[in-house]
Amino acid sequence: MKLGSSLTTPAQPTFRGPLRYGRLFVAIIVVLSLLLGYRLTGLVFDASQTATTQQLLDVGVKRPSVHTDNGEATAANAQAAVEAYLGFLAEGDASSATAMAGPAATGEAARFLTDEVFAQAAEHISDAKVILVKDKSGGNFEVQFTYTLAGSTQRAVLQLHRKVSRWVFEPMVTTLKIKPDWSGGTSNFSVSGIDANMEDIWTSYWVYPAVYQIDQPTGDLFVGDSVKTIARVNGDYGSRYNPYEEETEYRFDLSAHAKALVDEAVLGFFNSCLTQEQLFSANTADWGVRSCGQNQLREYSNVSDLEVEVVRTPVVDSYRYWPGFSVDSGLIKVSFNATSNRSGTDAIVHVADLQVYMQPYDVTVRLVDGKVVFD
């Protein structure tokens, strides 16, 4: 087991007392943990107190550059903590900002809080300045500050409380709703080169203040203009109230290549129907469900000598409401010999030029690895 993998240091207060006793205490704890197999995850101490401790922290693990101080609940330390936090946001360092104050967001809603997305934002905050620190007693402080984003100056407040080993405060986040224009296009989008999918149109993302650029999904299946959205964060974060929810609407349409793939898939299904096995199968379908038109032919059995003429191939309806499509009816003519189940006899009759409509249907189409998949 690597020693570094078992040590975590949130914010570290300073141990009081002579330095030699502090070193002895840490050494005893480390030795006991190694003998008993305990992890030191819950142990909080000032890593600057001893070079030995610092070496242990550096073994085999890359530590996040989170803020530390001398552990005292002072106005100067409160200001320094806020300045460090704002510095992480200005640098696009999501992991360090989250280490200081972690937003309660998971899964898809937390996508924008990752380093891979936040670091590549179109613009981060700048010119962050603390303008006032109020000592509210009992280890509580109010820190007022300003920052610039997209050419506009914002003013905000953080309420901090010193809780033994760290400063506790609400994360500087707000919610951002990103939704597709449902008159057409796709529910997919890309941010910072990372593909996302709006499976739920009511999804709101937690975001740090920044300017984000929403692009079409990667690849050549969609076209459209990128959209920039400004996530301004201001207000009093001690109140757990987000005064703003930004909303951004985008539209990305199928490219010519993607439309060709959809056409190819629709035509492929149509052509698969032009066989005796498919046309005269017992697999009938309700109206509006994709089928080969078996409802019109189910009265016949013992079919032979089938001839099929394509009169009209089906057409996808304007490629609207992606990922759902309406496909109009294809039309064929069939001639064959068969028994009519309505006649009450086994006599073979000849049917000539019977028109069969491949009934219209709605279908959900997904593009997976450049291939069209019907659902």
Q: What is the pLDDT of residues 20-35, one digit of tens each?
A: 334 444 344 333 333 3
Residues 221, 146 share a domain: yes
pLDDT of residue 6: 27
Cβ neighbors of 304 (< 8 A, separation 6 or more) are 336, 337, 338
Whether 92 and 52 share a structural domain? no
65 domain residue, yes or no: no
Q: What pLDDT does residue 238 have?
A: 40
Is the confidence at residue 315, as pLDDT, over 60? yes
Residues 114, 215 within the same domain: yes
Q: What is the mean pLDDT of residues 123-129?
A: 96
- Averaged pLDDT score across all residues of the chain: 74
Residue 338's domain comprises 257-374
pLDDT at 351: 95
How many domains does the structure of the chain reveal?
3
Tell me the per-residue pLDDT of 44-68, one tens digit each, with 9 for 90 and over: 222 222 233 233 233 333 334 478 8
| Same domain flag for 243 and 264 | no
pLDDT of residue 41: 27
Please indicate, yes or no, whether residues 218 and 263 belong to a single structural domain of this protein.
no
Between residues 255 and 308, which one has the greater pLDDT? 308
Question: How distant, in Å, are the alpha carbons of 13, 172, 274, 303 from that of 87?
Answer: 21, 12, 66, 78
- Nearest alpha carbon to residue 203 among 224, 169, 177: 177
Which two three-digit tokens encode residue 126? 């700048």
Residue 171 has pLDDT above 80, yes or no: yes
pLDDT value for 181 = 64
